[in-house]
Structure 1
Amino acid sequence: MSTLMLVATMLSVVNIVLLAALTFIWGRNYRTFRTPLILGLLIFGAVLLIENVAAVYFFFSTKMLYSGDPGIDSAVTILRALQTVALVSLTYVTTR
């Protein structure tokens, strides 16, 4: 596994932790308020959580999820980093 893919994998693990926290909070809020917006957030969090878990699984099981091209590796790492920034922002706002 290349260094960039290792970084992408670590970012996916961070995303999993953030998404688990968000999904837990949104699940608790949905049980309390039962609004469609919170249900949408709950589904959003669950789907992204599944996607990140699948990505980590494929990173380790096949040693690569993508073509193995260094250009792809950097693109995947950048996209995972952007997702992490977005999730950190969303987690910050949600927990305030």
Structure 2
Amino acid sequence: MTLMLDVARVAAATNILLLLVLVGIWGRNYREIRSKHTLGSAVFALLLLAENALALFYYLDPPQMSAPAVRAMMYLQILEFAAIALLVYVTWD
């Protein structure tokens, strides 16, 4: 179970870094063009950032969690990483 927690921690930490990149890009774009779409994207990234920060907090000092719950959360963090990485790829200038 510790390997699953380690993978989840790395995925959550990487998600946080990628989301900071997206917030920076979308925030800069919003300041330049004042589009509601870019503002919505930046707010969405901030909310995902909060979710990943909370998840990482729990992964660093995990309460008693069953192995199936840890496995499910690890898979979700990995899927979220793939989605955020794709967003970074298509957003990067």
Pick the TM interval, shorter chain. Answer: over 0.9
Report the CA distance between 1:93 and its aligned residue. Answer: 0.1
Structure 1: runs of 5 or more not aligned: none
Match of 1:4 in 2: 4
RMSD: 1.3
Does structure 1 residue 79 correspond to structure 2 residue 70? no
**Which among 87, 93, 96 is matched to residue 90 of structure 2?**
93
Match of 1:26 in 2: 26
- The structural deviation recorded for 1:46 is 0.5
SS at match of 1:68: coil
Instruction: Tell me the CA shift for residue 44 of structure 1.
Output: 0.2
Tell me the TM-score normalised to structure 1 length. Answer: 0.90
Aligned pair count reads: 93
Identity %: 34
Displaced runs of 4+ in structure 1, greater than 3 A? none
Tell me if structure 1 keeps the 8 A contact 2:16–2:53: yes
